[in-house]
Structure 1
């Protein structure tokens, strides 16, 4: 190994260990992932680690516009680490997007990837039910296979019996996140160890839920900046489940591609609204307390994990698009152009909820979505929203079957999602433009230690 390559590997390791990204060229910076996502959008709204330096040949087939970028490191705070290391027989490197790798195991934070990882351009949400006759041993074997496959794919390596779908792509920020549903604990004889946080969500007046597209014993969230890489992971995990679990439902989503804007910015949803302004940030002093399960939760196997709430929310876009921008802004409580609150400032200016206009009425209407969903209106309740948009064609009346695959993360759904959604359910101006069509709640265990699999501490105790 040459001295040059050794020094680049050392630098990459040091950068990952410090969790502080090195400066990147302007071209690479324009491809950095935008902030996580969804706060003031339909509510009902970055995992670091040591990069894998032994890269397979297929990860080295791409090219970059800048000459010979063989050791580029990029990422957001707590975000994915982008690494490109050259083999002696492959002089070129992948583009920044293709070479970005998110570790499957995070030894320090212990959180699974796909929670604080920056939003990816493509995603799949999928739920499985254990096969008839399957038991705890079957579930353990399946999660062991899934964990092994996810680790291989996220590192850009090819698993056994591969389909060849993504042979010439890098890891492309691939994340695979596993969750356990309420029914999983009954199926595996572990009902006594089911967390109270997994108690079913209450019924909401706006719900029109399809049971066949809700819940599930096991849940997987897949995200990647390359659609083929995302599909490749979905197909590999489905094949791993054969004989052990059957598909219950599957949905496809998307976000803006990194690098599509002149600089990183908060994404927009299909209503055209900037969506994600007020999300909790890993730099917040109480971030871990709000989002991840702590020592005092009474479930040691979930320590460092989180709870995911999923909602398929169809947007009534034909009705929404008939409203003027001014009407839409009053419904949301923010300007459509830049996401700033109606009380003024820029996107990140705090809302002045006590500000009144010349008519004596609140500048941000009392039923505005942003006001009702704000932590200040919910005793500080907050959740990390990380959605994908979806479009599944057109309905019989010609209306788009499109909206948000809403996913939010919290340490306790009762104190976060449920509390906020109950308030929204009672008077959110946005509700008339939404239909909640599917739902799920899942316990997402921490990332496994080296040699372990997701959920091992629960299944093998």
Structure 2
């Protein structure tokens, strides 16, 4: 039984709660790194009651539905147990925007890029996006992959949706290989070279890009595996990266995420409640019919940034704070206040020196120093092993979202490239820019407005 007929109409970035009796706090809406989680009420199983009362949350419409044991309980002939809060949270697949952009950060993530195989063109790409969208919709609802339980791998057996999101994007080369160059937007022009780049072409770019996120590692891998299988002979994996964040409930209160340098990361993100959030992050309707397919979409810049942790950890905490421009303990600016206090870039100490150093990362990247340029950062940390000399291959899978990378990421990165105090401690090793179309309406697949233009 599917809930889709009863699902609320709204933004696909809004998570749906499926909270079981006696569980802890449910996830509250929010953007990127700053999404908070609040308490929820007990409800009956999804397999016994589909639907429920709607309530307005911080990020939009939230459905007070219930959680059964994933999509498998009905075939077992037993009463489904209530899901815990983490397993019950569901992000909607259909909506104005794709999920995974303003959805609160998940504990586990997979990024994967595909290239179309020789002989695969527009027709094959459309069929692939249709298959991928169908599978993503089912998995995000906590149901088995296409074909039912007997054809599912069973990797996520017993789990609920666990805030699973699947987000699809197109790289610049996709338009050449599908004969759609006339529909390739100017914002997808190649990123310029930066002095901090040490890019590996084998782990950069790609025709198609998929972001998978979930609060359960098995649910996330299940989705990754299902999408890989559905690619069939149409597309092959170009590169794939795995990431993680703090698990929901690991702290005594909702907090902004920390990266592997121990720094609070995401404090100054744009918030959905801000009046200019939509125009900064999502592509508006435009005058050009050729690019109308991007309405409601966004552009994702993806960078694998290695952190030179041995060098970083050799610094004192005070020196680390001066490099960043914020206190390590709570993310507050060195100019004073709490994490959410606006940074006073002109405030000086008793010695006359700026409290936030002139080359501090937070100063150089601040919108005030970049003509208002802003982007929604939604990263995952990564760790890919330890070298023979003990050096960790670890860092940040940096993902930022904006309506136009030439007004978001590029001007900020150019500024950072010219004197960021953080630069000696990081290395950009892979890069990609992808056009992420708006969400699919019910009955549509992602990218349909482009591929059937």
Give the TM-score of the pair, scaled to structure 2. Answer: 0.87
Correspondences of 1:99-248 after superposition (within 5 Å): 99-106=88-95, 110-159=96-145, 160=147, 161-248=151-238
Q: What is the aligned-residue RMSD (CA, Å)?
A: 3.0
Closer/same/farther in 2, CA of residues 71 and 84 from structure 1, 3 Å limit: farther
Q: Any unmatched runs of 5+ in structure 1?
A: 1-8, 40-45, 47-52, 61-69
User: Deviation at 1:79?
Assistant: 8.2
| Contact 1:36 1:266 (8 Å CA) reproduced | no
| Contact 1:83 1:99 (8 Å CA) reproduced | no
Are 2:82 and 1:93 equivalent residues in the alignment?
Answer: yes
Closer/same/farther in 2, CA of residues 401 and 219 from structure 1, 3 Å limit: same
Paired residue for 2:27? 32
Q: How many angstroms apart in 2 are the aligned matches of 1:439 and 1:433?
A: 18
Q: How many angstroms apart in 2 are the aligned matches of 1:340 and 1:79?
A: 31
Matching residue within 302, 327, 330 for 1:335:
327
Closer/same/farther in 2, CA of residues 73 and 117 from structure 1, 3 Å limit: same
| Contact 1:21 1:75 (8 Å CA) reproduced | no
User: Deviation at 1:193?
Assistant: 1.2
User: Deviation at 1:78?
Assistant: 3.8
User: Deviation at 1:25?
Assistant: 11
Q: How many angstroms apart in 2 are the aligned matches of 1:168 and 1:311?
A: 34
| Contact 1:166 1:232 (8 Å CA) reproduced | yes
Q: How many angstroms apart in 2 are the aligned matches of 1:82 and 1:119?
A: 21
Q: Any unmatched runs of 5+ in structure 2?
A: 38-43, 69-73
Q: How many angstroms apart in 2 are the aligned matches of 1:20 and 1:313?
A: 29
Q: How many angstroms apart in 1 are the aligned matches of 2:20 and 2:233?
A: 48
Paired residue for 2:450? 458
| Contact 1:111 1:305 (8 Å CA) reproduced | yes
Match of 1:376, SS state, is helix
User: Deviation at 1:84?
Assistant: 1.5
- The aligned length equals 425
User: Deviation at 1:396?
Assistant: 3.3
Closer/same/farther in 2, CA of residues 279 and 26 from structure 1, 3 Å limit: farther
| Contact 1:182 1:217 (8 Å CA) reproduced | yes
User: Deviation at 1:75?
Assistant: 6.5
Match of 1:115, SS state, is coil
Are 2:338 and 1:349 equivalent residues in the alignment?
Answer: no
Give the TM-score of the pair, scaled to structure 1. Answer: 0.86
| Contact 1:312 1:436 (8 Å CA) reproduced | yes
- 1:164-222 per-position Cα deviation (integer Å, ceiling 9, x unaligned): 11111001000000000000000000111100000000000010000000000000000
Q: How many angstroms apart in 2 are the aligned matches of 1:132 and 1:25?
A: 48
- 1:328-357 per-position Cα deviation (integer Å, ceiling 9, x unaligned): 000000000111000111000000001112
- 1:86-134 per-position Cα deviation (integer Å, ceiling 9, x unaligned): 689525310011011111001xxx1000000000000000000001111
Q: How many angstroms apart in 2 are the aligned matches of 1:243 and 1:20?
A: 33
- 1:15-57 per-position Cα deviation (integer Å, ceiling 9, x unaligned): 999x8999x9998564536954469xxxxxx9xxxxxx99569
| Contact 2:15 2:62 (8 Å CA) reproduced | no
- 1:54-90 per-position Cα deviation (integer Å, ceiling 9, x unaligned): 9569x99xxxxxxxxx999896534875732568952
| Contact 1:331 1:367 (8 Å CA) reproduced | yes
Matching residue within 383, 401, 404 for 2:396:
404
Matching residue within 424, 448, 455 for 2:416:
424
Q: Where in structure 1 do 4 or more consecutive aligned residues deviate above 6 Å? A: 14-17, 19-22, 24-27, 70-75
Q: How many angstroms apart in 2 are the aligned matches of 1:258 and 1:55?
A: 22
Are 2:376 and 1:377 equivalent residues in the alignment?
Answer: no
Q: Which has the higher strand share?
A: 2
Closer/same/farther in 2, CA of residues 387 and 78 from structure 1, 3 Å limit: farther
Matching residue within 323, 336, 342 for 2:315:
323
- 1:274-318 per-position Cα deviation (integer Å, ceiling 9, x unaligned): 111110010000000000000136321100000000000000011
Paired residue for 2:379? 387
